[in-house]
């Protein structure tokens, strides 16, 4: 098969230009005589790759100088433990439950802190966002955690909550794994943001943490050294050997983002792609997306066939057209199209064409 | 520069055939229309890669059926915390200190357990191995930890200790990061072995854990779910998203090992390579390796110039000949040649030729 359109939720589609460059440089990076995979993380070649990646990401996401960028390991799931070990000091923390990922985070934090639910959209099947005005945040809260894009339920915060306006001084922790770099971030509202790289940034196995520097240095005694933000930051993410090749690939993605207009241009593309797909679903008698229009994700679009007996036929037809990995997460069923930065408009158009064609054959 | 001889201690030289195959498959793996980097970890394509890698590694290392193979993240340094969180149950554990890595492991375990020193070679500058008969292992020991190859100090256990013969029923924990797959493992003496991949197996960011199944399921309450061996094992290393591309590359390395005669053939090659280099050092009036001949590492060969004022000239001359990353670890100084599986005999011969030539110019 030639290159397909790959709608996987993650690991996910990569920019083809990035893959081409990685292939071309695999045996000899910039005349060094080495693959990036073979470089000492402390050598000048890799340090230059690392510093360029960090600097490009800081520029792209407009990360203020008082935030530190850490490249870690373990994914968002490990951060569910690492964040409370670093920030909770064993006190109370508040979670807003908007889907599977915030639920998992809230549960894991209970190992280290008094893990409370400030609000939950579970009663409506995670199809809406509880209004910040309704959140019950304790006065003793060490932080408030949200998942700003729920990969499984397809729910996105289109504006980050302003905790200060709610009378809350606690920092906001944001799991932005599945929409990082798809839109700008209002850092004035954020204390810490984290995300696995395998959706919008690069290969699985790299975890991005961006943390306000005054929150660093509070780790609990049983926090593993490799995951203590202070040690990671003091050692430029090289307290343990970092996932060097994954950082290199992410760096190529950052350069691709810059070349194609940066985050503002990417956001406009993502709005157009999402609009095209949601319009198709909304104008159909066969497909349905159940999420409140005010908080539909631009990245992850779950949908259902009203006749679920047609699911296998739908997926088989899609695969035959090179439209891959459209099966929904096992916990919710149905279908899901993840349309990250690297998914071109042509891919979404091909999916929309197929959606219409398949619906006609069912009439 | 064309491909150089790269003596980095890790990340380290990879087999050129593996890099060539990875480059060729970068945009489209086996006609799937996807890079391995883009595959869902739960899709059939990646599952086939994963299962092949696990099965090849089990065959290569002759891992018995009652040991589980886990692919994790965080490197050996993270395992320094993850092992005691999983095995110590907060009790007492014993360490044999033979260099920097076992020292670090012993210190980190103190966060979770009563971390004791059963023996130490610190007094002689970590140039020898304390005889197992001299180890002081408590009757209440939850496990005994050794680093079977000290990457920095160049000290290797050429035989794993037989704890049962010492009257000790505790399991042996082995950090085999820097010589895994360079020689057979006597699993009858092992409870758990772990290692970062970035020396002999593949890219940084992948951690291998091989654990006897009766030791799984003892994690302490504050062990992060992502690092609880039971959850990792119950979910085929996919409790969190695994480092998929790194597992794929490691799988290619395993196939390369099988193609070139497996571990027994690799061991013979490694013996010959090490012999060539140590003989050169021992027959020189300029270079010295200080490690007891009975426990010199076949993988990491630290050496010093007796006239250290010549260090920079030595390194510059080496680099000019395409002999890279020979500088010793900053904590010990001098030089270090790491000659892992993927370093061909021709690379060691080129280094030996240069060592002799450089020595002549100093006469």
Among B26, B41, B74, beta carbon nearest to A240 = B74
For residue B101, say whether it is annotated as part of any ligand binding site. Answer: yes
Among B1, B41, B73, beta carbon nearest to A32 = B1
Using alpha carbons, select from B339, B341, B200 the residue that is nearest to residue B261.
B341
Verify cis geometry, omega within 30 degrees of 0, for the bond prior to B315. no
Average pLDDT for chain A: 97
Q: Count other C-beta atoms under 10 Å from residue B278's C-beta.
A: 18
pLDDT in tens, A84-127: 999 999 999 999 999 999 999 999 999 999 999 999 999 999 99
B328 CB-near residues (< 8 Å, 6+ apart):
B302, B304, B334, B335, B336
What is the distance in angstroms between the Cα of A131 and the nearest Cα belonging to chain B? 30
Cβ contacts of B23 on chain A, cutoff 8 Å:
23-24, 26-27
- Residues B254 and B356 both lie in one domain: no
What is the distance in angstroms between the Cα of A285 and the nearest Cα belonging to chain B? 30
Is there a contact between A80 and B325 if contact means CB atoms under 8 Å apart?
A: no
For residue B186, say whether it is annotated as part of any ligand binding site. Answer: no
- Residues B241 and B320 both lie in one domain: no
Is there a contact between B33 and A225 if contact means CB atoms under 8 Å apart?
A: no
Token output for A256: 């691709």
- The Cα B337–Cα B348 span in angstroms is 9
Using alpha carbons, select from B95, B84, B92, B216 the residue that is nearest to residue A222.
B84
Active-site residue, from B56, B94, B175, B228: B175
Using alpha carbons, select from A179, A203, A160, A197 the residue that is nearest to residue A79.
A197
A184, with CB counted inside 10 A (0-12, 13-18, 19+), is middle
Among B1, B14, B77, beta carbon nearest to A33 = B1
- The Cα A339–Cα A348 span in angstroms is 7
For residue A186, say whether it is annotated as part of any ligand binding site. Answer: no
Judge whether B113 lies within some domain. Answer: yes
Is there a contact between A205 and B243 if contact means CB atoms under 8 Å apart?
A: yes
Domain count, chain B: 2
Is the pLDDT confidence value at A363 over 80? no
Please state, for a pLDDT cut of 70, what percent of chain B lies above it.
99
- Residues B266 and B136 both lie in one domain: no
Judge whether B8 lies within some domain. Answer: no
What is the distance in angstroms between the Cα of A205 and the nearest Cα belonging to chain B? 4
B175 is catalytic: yes
- Residues B108 and B79 both lie in one domain: yes
- The Cα B210–Cα A144 span in angstroms is 38
Is there a contact between A245 and B205 if contact means CB atoms under 8 Å apart?
A: yes
The residues pairing with A323 across neighbouring beta strands, listed in sequence order, are: A5
- The Cα A166–Cα B361 span in angstroms is 75
Name the helix (H) or strand (E) containing A61: none
Domain boundary among B258, B281, B310: B258
Is there a contact between A205 and B6 if contact means CB atoms under 8 Å apart?
A: no
Mean pLDDT confidence for A176-192: 98
- Residues A245 and A279 both lie in one domain: no
With CA atoms as reference, the chain B residue closest to A221 would be B111
Pick from A38, A83, A208, A315 the residue to mutate for testing the B interface (most B CBs within 10 Å).
A38
Looking at residue B1, what is its pLDDT?
A: 56
- Residues B180 and B237 both lie in one domain: yes
Is the pLDDT confidence value at A341 over 80? yes
Judge whether A85 lies within some domain. Answer: yes
Active-site residue, from A175, A228, A273, A327: A175
Active-site residue, from B29, B56, B68, B101: B101
Active-site residue, from A101, A135, A228, A273: A101
What is the distance in angstroms between the Cα of A237 and the nearest Cα belonging to chain B? 12
- Inter-chain contacts counted by CB atoms under 8 A, chains A and B: 237
What is the distance in angstroms between the Cα of B73 and the nearest Cα belonging to chain A? 6
Judge whether A5 lies within some domain. Answer: no
Cβ contacts of A81 on chain B, cutoff 8 Å:
224-226
* ipTM score assigned to the predicted complex: 0.97
Q: What is the CATH number of the domain that holds A351?
A: 3.90.1150.10
Q: Is residue A128 a contact partner of residue A107, using CB atoms and an 8 Å limit?
A: no
Buried b (16+ CB within 10 A) or exposed e, A314-331: bbeebeeebbbbbbbbee
Is the pLDDT confidence value at A1 over 80? no
User: Tokens 């040649």 sit at which residue?
Assistant: B337
- Residues B208 and B249 both lie in one domain: yes
CA atoms within 13 A on the CB side of B291: 27
Domain boundary among A210, A237, A258: A258
With CA atoms as reference, the chain B residue closest to A250 would be B37
pLDDT in tens, B298-324: 999 999 999 999 999 999 999 999 999
- Residues A212 and A287 both lie in one domain: no
For residue A233, say whether it is annotated as part of any ligand binding site. Answer: no
Is there a contact between B246 and A241 if contact means CB atoms under 8 Å apart?
A: no
- Residues A122 and A269 both lie in one domain: no
What's CA A273's distance to the chain center, in Å?
A: 17
User: Tokens 């498959």 sit at which residue?
Assistant: B25
Is there a contact between B205 and A243 if contact means CB atoms under 8 Å apart?
A: yes
N- to C-terminal Cα separation, chain B? 31
Mean pLDDT confidence for A242-246: 97
- The Cα B33–Cα A5 span in angstroms is 8
Is there a contact between B23 and A20 if contact means CB atoms under 8 Å apart?
A: no
Looking at residue B212, what is its pLDDT?
A: 98
Judge whether A316 lies within some domain. Answer: yes
pLDDT in tens, A194-240: 999 999 999 999 999 999 999 999 999 999 999 999 999 999 999 99
pLDDT in tens, A254-311: 999 999 999 999 999 999 999 999 999 999 999 999 999 999 999 999 999 999 999 9
Domain range for residue B299?
A: 261-362
Looking at residue B3, what is its pLDDT?
A: 83
- Residues B218 and B272 both lie in one domain: no
- Residues B194 and B301 both lie in one domain: no
A214 is catalytic: no
Name the helix (H) or strand (E) containing B266: helix B262-282
- The Cα A323–Cα A318 span in angstroms is 5
**CA dihedral (A76, A78, A82, A88) positive or negative:** positive
A175 is catalytic: yes
Please work out, in degrees rounded to the nearest 5, the angle formed at the alpha carbon of residue A172 by the alpha carbons of A167 and A178: 140
Dihedral of CA atoms B331, B332, B336, B338 in degrees, nearest 10, equals -50
Cβ contacts of B239 on chain A, cutoff 8 Å:
77
With CA atoms as reference, the chain A residue closest to B45 would be A325
Longest dimension (CA), chain A: 63
Judge whether A87 lies within some domain. Answer: yes
- pLDDT band for position A2 (cuts 50, 70, 90): confident
Average pLDDT for chain B: 97
Judge whether A7 lies within some domain. Answer: no
Is there a contact between B196 and A241 if contact means CB atoms under 8 Å apart?
A: yes
pLDDT in tens, A127-182: 999 999 999 999 999 999 999 999 999 999 999 999 999 999 999 999 999 999 99
Is there a contact between B82 and A224 if contact means CB atoms under 8 Å apart?
A: yes
Using alpha carbons, select from B161, B148, B260 the residue that is nearest to residue B195.
B148
Cβ contacts of A45 on chain B, cutoff 8 Å:
none
Q: Is residue A83 a contact partner of residue A145, using CB atoms and an 8 Å limit?
A: yes
Judge whether B12 lies within some domain. Answer: no
Q: What is the CATH number of the domain that holds A53?
A: 3.40.640.10
User: Is B332 strand, coil or helix?
Assistant: coil
Length of chain A in residues, anyone? 363
What is the distance in angstroms between the Cα of A97 and the nearest Cα belonging to chain B? 19
pLDDT in tens, B122-163: 999 999 999 999 999 999 999 999 999 999 999 999 999 999
Mean pLDDT confidence for B19-28: 98
- Residues B107 and B176 both lie in one domain: yes
Q: Is residue B345 a contact partner of residue B268, using CB atoms and an 8 Å limit?
A: no
- The Cα B302–Cα B286 span in angstroms is 14
For residue B42, say whether it is annotated as part of any ligand binding site. Answer: yes
Domain boundary among A258, A288, A313: A258
Q: Is residue A195 a contact partner of residue A178, using CB atoms and an 8 Å limit?
A: yes
């Amino acid at each position: 098969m030639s290159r397909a359109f790959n709608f996987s939720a993650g690991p996910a589609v990569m920019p083809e230009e990035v893959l081409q460059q990685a292939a071309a440089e695999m045996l000899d990076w910039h005349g060094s005589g080495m693959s990036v995979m073979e470089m000492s993380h402390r050598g000048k070649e890799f340090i230059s790759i690392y510093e360029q990646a960090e600097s490009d990401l800081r520029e792209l996401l407009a990360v203020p100088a008082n935030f530190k960028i850490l490249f870690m390991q373990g994914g968002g799931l490990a951060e569910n433990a690492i964040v409370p070990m670093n920030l909770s000091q064993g006190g109370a923390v508040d979670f807003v439950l908007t889907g599977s990922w915030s639920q998992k985070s809230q549960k894991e934090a209970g190992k280290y802190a008094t893990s409370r639910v400030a609000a939950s959209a579970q009663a409506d099947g995670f199809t809406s966002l509880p209004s910040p005005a309704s959140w019950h945040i304790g006065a003793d809260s060490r932080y408030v955690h949200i998942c700003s894009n729920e990969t499984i339920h397809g729910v996105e915060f289109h504006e980050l909550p302003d905790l200060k306006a709610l009378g809350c001084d606690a920092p906001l922790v944001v799991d932005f794994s599945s929409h990082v770099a798809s839109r700008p971030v209002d850092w004035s509202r954020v204390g810490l943001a984290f995300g696995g790289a395998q959706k919008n940034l690069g290969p699985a196995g790299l975890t991005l943490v961006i943390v306000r520097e005054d929150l660093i240095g509070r780790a609990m005694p049983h926090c593993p050294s490799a995951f203590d933000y202070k040690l990671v930051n003091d050692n430029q993410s090289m307290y343990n050997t970092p996932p060097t090749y994954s950082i290199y690939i992410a760096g190529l993605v950052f350069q691709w983002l810059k070349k194609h207009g940066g985050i503002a241009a990417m956001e406009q593309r993502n709005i157009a792609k999402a609009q095209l797909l949601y319009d198709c679903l909304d104008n159909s008698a066969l497909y349905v997306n159940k999420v409140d229009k005010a908080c539909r994700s631009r990245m992850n679009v779950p949908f259902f066939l009203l006749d679920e007996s047609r699911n296998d036929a739908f997926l088989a037809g899609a695969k035959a057209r090179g439209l891959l990995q459209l099966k929904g997460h096992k916990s919710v069923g149905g279908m899901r199209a993840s349309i990250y930065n690297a998914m071109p408009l042509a891919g979404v158009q091909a999916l929309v064409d197929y959606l219409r064609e398949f619906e006609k054959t069912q009439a």
